[in-house]
Structure 1
Amino acid sequence: MLRQKSFRSHTPVLFVVVFSLFLLISAKYDYFVKIGFSVPSGHSESCNAVPIPTESSSTQVITSTPIPTPTAVPFPEKIWYKAGPQGVSAEAESFRNHCLELSPSYEYEILDDEAASEYVYKWFSDRPDIITTYFSLNVPILRADLLRYLILWAEGGMWMDLDVSCGEEPMHRWVLKEYREAANLVVGLEFDWPWENDNFLHAQFTSWTIMAKPHSPHMMQVIDDILMGVDEVARQHNVSLDGIQMSMIPQVVDLTGPKRMTWSIVKSLNRILERELDDRDITGLRSAKLVHDVLILPGNAFAASQSNFPKDQGPVLVTHHYAGTWKNKLGGEEGKRSV
């Protein structure tokens, strides 16, 4: 009886407390809704993971948590080019004009050094590691390589080197209809070498032509790996990033070029698929192959000359004319210098 009486005697007090809490919660709810805070419901979307920072020896490299690209987004119809100090040659202009004649819905943009700097500042001001690395690099090819991956991550579209010409296939046909939603990145084989039991990836994708939808996690993997790679070169030679010279780099293709890109894309796929890919997964192609969200084109598509112009791998989509080579002591182009 005492317990029952005690309960009843406190009933008004409990009622006031409960009613006050109800008013407080209602007010807070209205406030958060008013400022745009998303209140979870039974049908709410899952939240994106937060990037996890990691430390490197001289710059802070932020390893971004992969966020899948919405597959309903189409490939942007834009071609990106980078021009050096000498500008664009008549030959390069003719290459570009032919591509645009075949694909009139496409637009293009050519970035010179100044425009490229502005672009990187605009899109990556929240990534001090990217800003520091990009503007510290004094070897032109390293900066040019990094730029293409930054652009493709930020806005997507088609990257083409100036010395690349199109075949006779319009760009909207490069990706078959059944792959257009599922594919977020399109690469072509440069070296289609058979698998060997040596735990080494021999295949290589081209980097003179790449297609991407914005925010591909595979492109960000390439970027993050380049940041760590150049940081390691600086550490090994006991110099700052702006002290890196061409002579310190055994193979540019491994550090920032197509081999680096290939390794990083496969590394990203390995993590997503939770298994180790090898040459058996990506070589010996006669037609396009979709690996998760990466569409791999056979060698004839982007690198017909390296593949000896096979007749059973579909059309030649582009040709790389090797107008110059970056293998001089400064890491810039020499030789023909036509683009």
Structure 2
Amino acid sequence: MMSFKRALVFAIFFITAFVIIRRAHTSLNEPNPVRRPPPKHADSDNARSGASHNAPSTSNPSGADVPLRDQPVPAQKAIHDTSKMSLYDKLAYQYPYDVETKFPAYVWQTWKYTPASAEFQFRDQEASWTEQHPGFVHEVITDQVAVHLLRLLYAAVPEVLDAYDALPEPVLKADFFRYLILLARGGIYSDIDTVALKSALDWLPDALPKESIGLVVGIEADPDRPDWKDWYSRRIQFCQWTIQAKPGHPVLRDIVSRITAETLRRKRDGVFVSRDKSVVEFTGPAVWTDTVFDYFNDARYFDMRHSLGNITYLNFTGIEIPKKVGDVVVLPITSFSPGVGQMGAKDYDDPMAFVKHDFEGTWKPEHERHIGANG
């Protein structure tokens, strides 16, 4: 006959095993959770980011705060059948966003050759990124490697791969790749003709909590002149030659969805783009700028009930220090465009100068290079 002590030990063992098995079964059947960014605090746009009190609030033209909404979580029913999801939701499921994680320690660049090739032309520029970011994984991805890497990362989203393959120009593929690699892996993307002046660890103010930021963008152009449309696509234009992001950020989901849908439409209609401004609008800084502004005014992510109007270029023109909008930090023009000699950009030795762009325009024919900031 079993003693009382042995019976008690057996009962405890049985109950413990039952609880462990039940928890394991439950975790296998629950949807993959999406971490939600914390609500935006009242001082997040101004005091913590060091934003100018003379410039309009990036939350609200009146200065009132617009709190960041919780990130939407895909419905459990859709989790089991991604074929019924929209492309945006597929990407959200494939690469969920967690604002509280660290920025991944990656530097991504693309070029026709790797630094190991004798034909590599950007040794000083490429080396600056390694020197400023010891301990980071730094990769220069060739076109051939990009194809295989994307097939691995986006095997579950074949329409993205179809769109990438359909793009007829290398510059379009290069633009698309930067958004795709950041969406999937995060880190820093920077064009091969850029020089890292400061480490990305110094890009954000110390007082700004890094666990509240998921995307860092810089101003490329702030042309306060009546003929600005002759030179730039947007009154405030965000550069996409350098971007820092955490994987899965909604802005990256959105731009990948837009480019994919537009590319497949153009493929179906047999209409594609030529060089120049059509590239800028299709995959370049124009569509990138539009996507960032659309995110700032997206009721899915920001509580707009107390806002008096949309966030526009007026909230950023003339800024000289970072401004925070929800989980995005916008850096002034000096940060990624120092030394251009216009639009308020200061020189390379300014404390806010982080990246120098040589404007090689490497995607353009040789005779068209070095002619402006849209390259």
Determine if the TM-score, normalized by the shorter chain, exceeds 0.5.
yes
Give the number of the structure with larger relative contact order, counting CA–CA contacts within 8 Å between residues 6 or more apart: 2
Identity %: 24
For residue 178 of structure 1, what is the amino acid of its counterpart?
A
Number of aligned residue pairs: give it: 288
Structure ID, larger Rg: 1
Aligned to 2:240: 207
Aligned to 1:316: 353
Trace 1:31-42 onto structure 2 (pairs within 5 A).
33-37=23-27
CA distance in 2, matches of 1:125, 1:276: 37
1:228 to partner: Cα distance: 2.4
Please tell me whether the aligned partners of residues 156 and 213 of structure 1 are also in contact (alpha carbons under 8 angstroms): yes
Structure 2 residue 183 is matched with structure 1 residue 158: no
1:181 to partner: Cα distance: 1.7
Aligned to 1:13: none
Aligned to 2:200: 171
For residue 228 of structure 1, what is the amino acid of its counterpart?
A
Q: Secondary structure at 1:133's aligned position in 2?
A: helix
Aligned to 1:25: none
Trace 1:260-339 onto structure 2 (pairs within 5 A).
260-271=287-298, 272-273=301-302, 274=304, 276-306=310-340, 308=342, 309-310=345-346, 314-328=351-365
CA distance in 2, matches of 1:83, 1:228: 26
Distance 1:103 1:195, change over 3 A: same
Match of 2:137 among 107, 117, 121: 107
Please tell me whether the aligned partners of residues 325 and 334 of structure 1 are also in contact (alpha carbons under 8 angstroms): no
CA distance in 2, matches of 1:289, 1:313: 18
Match of 1:62 among 87, 111, 130: 87
Please tell me whether the aligned partners of residues 338 and 356 of structure 2 are also in contact (alpha carbons under 8 angstroms): yes
1:101 to partner: Cα distance: 1.8
Q: Which consecutive residues of structure 1, in runs of 5 or more, have no partner in the other structure? A: 1-27
Distance 1:34 1:162, change over 3 A: closer
Please tell me whether the aligned partners of residues 217 and 331 of structure 2 are also in contact (alpha carbons under 8 angstroms): yes
1:86 to partner: Cα distance: 8.5
TM-score (norm 2): 0.66
Aligned to 2:163: 133
CA distance in 2, matches of 1:334, 1:31: 68
CA distance in 2, matches of 1:313, 1:232: 45
CA distance in 2, matches of 1:336, 1:204: 20
TM-score (norm 1): 0.73
Distance 1:97 1:86, change over 3 A: closer
1:310 to partner: Cα distance: 2.7
Q: Which consecutive residues of structure 2, in runs of 5 or more, have no partner in the other structure? A: 1-17, 37-71, 227-232, 371-375
1:36 to partner: Cα distance: 4.1
CA distance in 1, matches of 2:19, 2:134: 51
CA distance in 2, matches of 1:336, 1:267: 31
